[in-house]
Each structure stands twice: as structure tokens, then as C-alpha cells.
Amino acid sequence: MNVTRAIGLVTVLGALAASSGSPVDAQQSRPPVVDATNLRMQPEQGMTSMTVLGDPSKPGIYVVRNRFAAGNTSRPHYHDQDRFVTVIKGTWFTDEGDVFRREKMVPIRQGGFMYHPANLHHYDGSNDGEEVIVQIMGMGPVKTVQTEVDASGKPVGSNPAARPQ
């Protein structure tokens, strides 16, 4: 790593630390990743999510790890904040839009990355028989809105527009 890049990295890390309080304060105010509340990712649990740092429902940076069991995917939705996703394990599949089309999902291999800009309608998960783990970073608070519709445009599933008023 050259000196300019190292200085840039230190500057970014310093800005993050300054925006969220001192590292000592952050350590004292948040619980450990794995503790008595049983924040673990077990293979038999299907889709699981574990917060590694911060809290997606509160202001500030957060890091979450999501595990998709083999063949498990989310349904069409969007987030109201930018999110940055790195594939930690397996091949993650994703597509954009409100109509779920498993056959159109695009693979992103282990080590790959995807930027989800705010309000990008998408869905993602495991599509090929292996579990997938992704790490998601963003700034909170973030809200997720379900948007799935069928091919004719009629809301389905947990899309709020599908619920009776």
C-alpha cells in the first residue's frame, strides 16, 4: 500500500470514529457480537441475519451479515438508504425489479461486491443449492419496503399495497 492510500484510509477511519464517538465509547455502549442473546448463524435456521456493528434502525454506520440457506431468496423490495454488499461465502444471485423472476437472477461469486443505491427495487439470495453469506454495510436508519407484484402488476405477498385497508 502506498503512502497516499494509507493516509487516505487513516483519514476515512478517523472520520468514521469521530462521527460515532470515540472507539472506547463505542466499545462500551454496544454488546458483543455473540453473547447471551444467542446471536449466532446456524445452518438449519434458513435465512438469518446478525448485526456485527451498529444498528440499522439508528443513525450511524452499521454492518450486518445475512445468511441465505440453499435455495432461499428475498422477495422484491427496496431500502431507503444506500447499501454496500460483499459476498463472504457462496454465490449470491440478484435481480432488479418488482416481479420475482428466479431464472433472471445474476450470480455474484464469493468475494464479489454489489452497490445497492437507495430505492433500487431488487431481490437476492441463494439460487443454486448452496448457502450464501453476505455482509451489508450502510448508514442507518434504513427502512426496507416490500414491492413484489405479479406479471400483471397486482401486488403479492408482503407488499403493503396487497393488504386490505
Separation of alpha carbons 160 and 165, rounded Å: 10
Reported as a pLDDT band with limits 50, 70 and 90, residue 96 is: very high
**Four-residue CA torsion sign, 117, 73, 59, 88:** negative
Higher pLDDT, 66 or 21: 66
pLDDT at 22: 37
CA 109 to each of CA 80, 89, 118, 160: distance values in angstroms, whole numbers, following the listed order: 26, 8, 23, 32
Lowest mean per-residue pLDDT among 7-11, 70-74, 83-87, 98-102:
7-11
pLDDT at 128: 73
pLDDT at 13: 38
pLDDT at 45: 61
Separation of alpha carbons 116 and 10, rounded Å: 25
pLDDT at 148: 97
Nearest to 139 by CA among 88, 67, 64, 75: 64
For residues 107 and 66, the answer to whether their CB atoms sit within 8 Å is no
CB within 8 Å of 44: residues ≥ 6 apart: none
Lowest mean per-residue pLDDT among 98-112, 120-134, 151-165:
151-165
For residues 105 and 93, the answer to whether their CB atoms sit within 8 Å is yes
Separation of alpha carbons 117 and 37, rounded Å: 32
Q: Write a three-state SS string for 34-61.
A: CCCCCCCCCHHHCCEEEEEECCCCCCEE
Over the chain, what is the mean pLDDT? 79
Q: Is the pLDDT of residue 40 over 80?
A: no
Look at residue 14 and give its three-state secondary structure.
helix
